[in-house]
Every structure is written in C-alpha cells, then in structure tokens.
Structure 1
C-alpha cells in the first residue's frame, strides 16, 4: 500500500484545498476551505461560472443588512463548498470572515447565515462545519452555535490554552497547526535542522490529543498546516489530518511502511474547572508564538478576504 493508503487506515484524511481535481485524485473523507483557497479556486477560469452564479444569487436576495459584495462572497463560499461536498462522503469546513474574529455575536450571525444558505441549496447542516478563529470570542461563539446544532471547526489554534478552552466549550472539532509553529521556532532560533522528535508543532498536537483522550473530551483533533510528509506521519493515528495536495501526492507515491504514532488511551482523569477568560488571555500573553501566529493568521485570512471582495466588486461592476 502507498503511505496515503496506510494513513487512511489509521486516520481520517482531509484535503486542505478547494481544487476539485485534487479531491478527485486523492479521495479524502472531508474537505476544508478558507478565503485563500477560495481566491485560488476562482482565479482558475474553470470555476468562474461559480463566481457568476454567486453574483446572480446575491442580486436576487433582499438583505438590507449586507452589501451586495458581502452577500455575493457568502454565496460563492457556499457554492464552492456545495461542489466539494458533492465529491466527498463527509463534511466541508466553511470559514467565517476573519474580520469577525473578535466579535462573538457577529460570528454567530454569520455562521447561521452560512448554514441557511447551504440548507437553501439542499445541503444539510450535518455536512458542514463552520470554521472560526480560536480567539476567546470565537470560542464563545462556537459554544453557542454548538448548542444551536451548528457544529464548528476552530482554526488558527497554536497552544494548549486554546485547545483546552475549545474542549470546555463543547466544540466539535479543532485544527491545531503544526507547520506554522515550526516556522516560528525556526525564525526565532535560526535552527533549520530540527528533527521530528524535536518538532514543537508535532509536540503541541500530540499533547492536545493525549489530553483530550485522557479526560474523555469528545472534541475531534484535526492536525493542520504541515510542512513535510514526515510531520504528517509523526501524527498518524490522530483523529483527522488535513493535508495539502502536494503532500498528499508525496504520500501517494511512497510505499514505505510506517507505524501508528498516536493511540487513544481513554482515561478517567478529573476535568479541571473551566478556564476563565482572564486565564485564557494571560496564557496567550505568556505564549509569544501563539499570540503572534494567531494575529498573523487572522491578518492573512482577512487580507485574502479583502482581495476576494475586490475581485467580486470588479465582477459586479460589469453587470
């Protein structure tokens, strides 16, 4: 078997892409998108019809609380998500606008709108995860959304405080990042030759996974943001792993065998008292890497969202 086939026997594989051809080739269980991936998808002429369809749908909508550009971007995100869902057996994660990352109520409103748009297109909410940045406000928005039967994927997660707060909020799934943590440590230490054994991103996800299992939290751990297939294989056995097409291709081409690394050891440890907002914020302040990478990730997604909105405004001006 290829390494990809072996990995699929241990872990649910998710495609970190909006590229339909990659999904067809690698046959993942789930998919995930973000503004960067959507922007990349619509830059391909093949997907321009979805852009036009989103504009037509937005023009037919009467929603005074939204600009035409914002409405059309919402429709585009959902239309791409629907196309992806048609090619997979599982779920697609659709991201809330990163500019709402520090607004609990606005995040809830946008998440409910996304679910409504999906349901209007015939896609049930159990095929969708709402993707939200792991800020305190984002986690509290997810707490309420989970109560409203809207399941969430908390992204841009870099440290243990974020993971613990997500589990305590009853979040369905988290996406702890691996590669971006490694990037930060390489930049700060100047060390480019860190072994997998010393990889801080791999260590972070391993700690979170073991903690969740020992305390019987139901939140799913989906490792994300990989820089090498070695990082992926070091987390074989994790609940889910979301992997970019280039690494999926490497795994598909290799037939070397490897062993499962993460094995669930369910325990009966007593859960701590829920983390307070003050504790969360202080632990984030103490973690320079997590603070910097969270802010950087939000800025990057917001910039891509702005670029997508500019593209949509240009298309709307043609009509």
Structure 2
C-alpha cells in the first residue's frame, strides 16, 4: 500500500490547495484554502472562468456606472466562496474559507464577515455543516469563533503556533485548529542556524504532538489538523493526528511511495500522560504569547503574508476587470 493509502486509514487527509485539478486527482475528504492559495489559483488560465464569472456578477450587482475598483472590491468578497463552491462539487466533506486577514484583531469585523460567508454558501444551497470559517488564532479571533460556534457556524482557527493558542481554542469549543508545522520548523532553523532536524525532533512535529496529547488527555472535542508541511517525514511523524492538510506537491510522493507507515499519535496513549491542565484568560494568553518568541513572530508574519496576498488578489481583479471592459477588436 502507498503511504497515502495507509495514512488515510488513521487520519483524515485534506488537500491544502485552491487547485481544483489537484483535488480531483488526490480525492481528499476535505479541502482548505487561504488567501495565498486563492491568489495563486486565480492566476491560472484554467480558473479564469471562475474569476470572470465572479467579476460579472459583481458588475451586475453594483450597476453599470460603478467604477472598476468598487466592482473588483465586491468581487473580491465573493471569490473565495466561488472557489469553495466549486471544490465542494468534488469532495465529500468540508471546505475551509478564510476571513480577511486584515480583520485578525477585529472581533466584530470577523463576526460579520463570517456570517456573510455562511449566508452566501447557504444561498447557494450548501449546508453550513460543510463549511469551516478560517480565522487567525489571535485572542480576538478565538473569541469571535466562540460566538460563531454557538450560532452553529463551525470554525477553523489558523496561524496557530503555540499551546496557549490551542488551549484557548479548545476552551472556546471551536471545531478545528490548524497548527502550522512547517512554519514552526522554518523559525527554529533560522533562529538556531541549523540546517535540519531529525523527524522526531522537528519542532513543528513536537508542537503538534504536544497539542494532540493535551487535547486527548483532557477530552477536548476540538479537532487538530496539522498544516504547512515541508517534507513527508513531518507527515509520517504525525500519522494518527485527527486531520492533516497536505499540499499537492507532498500528496504526490505519498501516493507514489510504498512502505510501512506506523501510527505515531493515538488518543489512548495520551490518557496516562502527566500533563498540567491550563486555564487561559486574556491576560494569561497575552503573557504566554509574548514569552513565546516563535509564536509571536510567526503569527505576525502570517497575518502580514496573507494580507499581502489579499492585496495582490485585489489588484489582479482590478486588472482583469479592465481587460474585460476593453471593447473587442473587430
């Protein structure tokens, strides 16, 4: 059996991409998107029809006299959902759609945007149970997710790098968290000057393992989805995690490689572990976040990176609309 086939027996495999062709190829249960992935997909010729249809709908809604920037801004609000709807035609499970990263510290803005996204999916006849709203794991984002979960809107807390974020999410009863394995490794390699770590000593692997054992020890229902992998060894070390979201470039070697894939994470093993239970209020969260240089750096960097991708996508839509508005040459 391939490593991918064995992994699917102990872990829900999720495709980390906006590339619909890749999702069709690897048949994951769920799929996740983010601003960078949507921006990349929107540039590809095979998805121009999705972009153009979204722009035309925005033009119709705004009226023919609306300026291109306003039309593009309206289209931007709906493009992630347009990709999400297309992805849901392929997969049997859920798709994650992200709130604008520029609202990461704005609880009210996050709440409104999340409700708007769910409303748009439901207007298209898609149940909210098939949607995960992705929100950055800031204190404000976690508190917004706590409110949304009570409204039946399921959330995926992303850009998660520290145990304090994970515990706060679990106590807020969010549906799912996405700890970023590879980005944690990146930080430690840069901070220490090391070129590599043995798989079991990979700081990202260790972080997710710690969170997994904590959740299973204390019976939290929040699901853990490892994300942002740099190599297949990281994935192999986390076999047994609730979910793993994996890019097509790593799904391919997993599907083509045979060999034994032992389960590394198991809830029964966590029950007898000596783990201190934490209680996280805002003050504790802030103190732990400041003390964790890696989590502090990577959360800030991630929000800035997703914001840059969103700005690039906005400009892409403005440029595309200008092309569409040009009269055809006879």
TM-score interval w.r.t. the shorter chain?
Answer: over 0.9
Which consecutive residues of structure 2, in runs of 5 or more, have no partner in the other structure?
326-330
- Equivalent residue, structure 2, for 1:125: 128
Distance, in Å, in 1 between the alignment partners of 2:62 and 2:127 is 23
> Is residue 286 from structure 1 mapped to residue 291 from structure 2 by the alignment?
yes
3-state DSSP class of the match of 1:237?
Answer: coil
Distance, in Å, in 1 between the alignment partners of 2:80 and 2:174 is 22
Distance, in Å, in 1 between the alignment partners of 2:164 and 2:147 is 19
Give me the TM-score of the superposition, normalised by structure 1.
Answer: 0.95
Shift of 1:194: 1.1
Which of these residues, 300, 308, 312, is aligned with residue 305 of structure 2? 300
Residues 124-143 of structure 1 show CA distances to partners (whole Å, capped at 9, x for unaligned) of 11111000100000001100
> Is residue 275 from structure 1 mapped to residue 284 from structure 2 by the alignment?
no
Shift of 1:62: 6.0
Pairing 1:213-224 to 2, within 5 Å after superposition? 213-224=216-227
Shift of 1:267: 4.3
1:129–1:151 contact (8 Å) kept in structure 2: yes
2:4–2:254 contact (8 Å) kept in structure 1: yes
1:153–1:171 contact (8 Å) kept in structure 2: yes
> Is residue 249 from structure 1 mapped to residue 261 from structure 2 by the alignment?
no
* Structure possessing the higher radius of gyration over alpha carbons: 2
Give me the TM-score of the superposition, normalised by structure 2.
Answer: 0.92
Which of these residues, 196, 202, 206, is aligned with residue 203 of structure 1? 206
1:31–1:91 contact (8 Å) kept in structure 2: yes
1:215–1:271 contact (8 Å) kept in structure 2: no
Shift of 1:273: 6.8
Pairing 1:80-159 to 2, within 5 Å after superposition? 80-159=83-162
- Equivalent residue, structure 2, for 1:26: 26
Q: 1:113 to 1:181 in 2, by over 3 A?
A: same
Q: CA RMSD in A?
A: 2.0
Distance, in Å, in 2 between the alignment partners of 1:178 and 1:253 is 23
